[in-house]
Copies of this chain bind each other. A is one copy, B any other.
């Protein structure tokens, strides 16, 4: 078997975008991404999909932190400030740990702790055990 961290390292799209998982505990996870020229949209700011990719990895870490396979059913993301080049961080909190339908909140901030985006998501937790023996 292995760790949740190792399993999530197989998220190729997140890895290609430069997303790194910093920490995962039951009910909490933190990830970061270095925004570069390659993350920008036509307006010269970080593309919404790049922000979502970062948030999605943090979601996956926290949602699966109870060793049960959990998918995202939907996500509402609000874009507050543009993100420019440099590190941004996503902190994910499992606000409601429910056996079938957990609720997760993710907050994206920049190096100055300014809030960039907020995402809320309803998960769908399966009864299937994840093939991991620890988180980190």
Contact = CB atoms under 8 A, between A and B. Distances in A.
A34 interface: no
Contacts of A95: 80, 115, 118
A22 to B, nearest CB: 17
Interface in A48-89: 48-50, 52-56, 59-60, 69, 71-81
Contacts of A96: 80-81, 115
Interface residues of A, number: 53
A41 interface: yes
Interface in A107-122: 115, 118, 120, 122
A48 B80 CA distance: 20
Interface of A: 7-14, 16-17, 37-43, 46-50, 52-56, 59-60, 69, 71-81, 95-96, 98, 100-101, 103, 105, 115, 118, 120, 122, 124
The 4 closest A-B pairs by CB, nearest first: A49-B53, A13-B47, A76-B76, A52-B52
